[in-house]
Structure 1
Amino acid sequence: MKLTPFLNEEKIIIDFKAKNKLNFFSKCADLIVKHHPDFDREEVLELFLKREETMSTGIGNGVAIPHIVYGKCRAHEIYFFKLGDPIDFNSLDGKPVSLLFVVIGNAAKSNLVHLQILAKLARLLKKDDFVNKLKNVQKPEEVMEIIREYE
Structure 2
Amino acid sequence: MRVEYVLQNPMYRRESPSLSIHFAVNGNVGPCLLDVLRKQVIIDGARNTVFEDCGWNRTKWVLDWPGLEMDCIGLWCHDVNGKPLTRDALIREIGAQIGQIMRESKAGNPKYRQSIHTPPCWRFENIDFRDIRLVSLNYYNGVWVPTLAVTRHQ
Q: TM-score, normalised by structure 1?
A: 0.30
Q: Which has the higher helix share?
A: 1
Query: Which protein is bigger by CA-based radius of gyration?
Result: 2
